[in-house]
Chain A
Amino acid sequence: MAESVAARIAATGTANALELRGVSRMFGALAALTDISMTVAPGERRAVLGSNGAGKTTLFNCITGDFPPSSGSIRLFGEDVTAFPPQERIRRGLRRTYQISLLFTGLSVLDNVYLACRGVSRGRFSMLRPPRNDALLASAEDLVEAVHLTPQRGTLVANLAYGQQRQLEIALALAGAPRFVLFDEPAAGLSPTERRELIEILTGLPEHMGYMIIEHDMDVALRVAEKVTMMHNGRIFKEGLPQEIEEDEEVQELYLGGGHGGH
Chain B
Amino acid sequence: MALAERNTTGRDISSGAWWDVTRIPLSFWVGAVVLLILPLIAGDFILRQIITYAMILGMISLSLMFLAGYGNMVSLAQMTIAGVSAYMVAIFGTSAVDTISLGWPWWAAALAGIIIATIFGTLTGAIAVRTEGIYTIMITLAIAAGMFYLVRQNYTLFNGFSGMNQVGGPQFWGINWRDPVPLYFVTTVCAVCAYYGVIYVSRSPFGLALQGVRDNARRMGALGFNVTAHRIAAYAFASFIAGVAGVLLVWLNGQVSPGTIGVGPAIDILIIAVVGGLAHPIGPFLGAILYVLLRTFAIDVLVALGLGGERFQLLIGLGFLLVVFFSSDGILGLWKRFRERGNRDPLTGENRDA
Q: Measuring CB to CB, which residues of chain A are less than 8 angstroms from any residue of chain B?
A: 64-66, 85-87, 90-91, 95-96, 98, 102-108, 110-111, 114-116, 118-120, 123-132, 134, 137, 153-156, 158, 172, 175-176
Contacts and interface: CB of A to CB of B under 8 A. Distances in A.
B152 interface: no
B46 interface: no
A131 B17 CA distance: 9
B216 interface: yes
B224 interface: yes
B202 to A, nearest CB: 10
A119 B225 contact: yes
A120 to B, nearest CB: 4
Contacts of B212: 104, 107, 115
A104 B14 contact: no
Nearest to B9: A154
Interface string B202-219: 011111110110111011
Contacts of B10: 108, 154-155
B230 A125 contact: yes
Contact of A102 (B17, B206, B218, B230): B218
A66 B221 CA distance: 8
Chain A contact surface mostly: loop
Contacts of A158: 6
B22 interface: no
B11 interface: yes
A127 B208 contact: no
B156 interface: no
B353 interface: no
B125 to A, nearest CB: 14
> Considering residues B204, B218, B221, B222, which has the most beta carbons from chain A within 10 angstroms of its beta carbon?
B222
A111 B222 contact: no
A86 B8 CA distance: 30
B33 interface: no
B34 interface: no
A104 B215 CA distance: 5
B206 A125 contact: yes
Given A87-B221, A129-B200, A137-B14, A106 B215 contact: yes
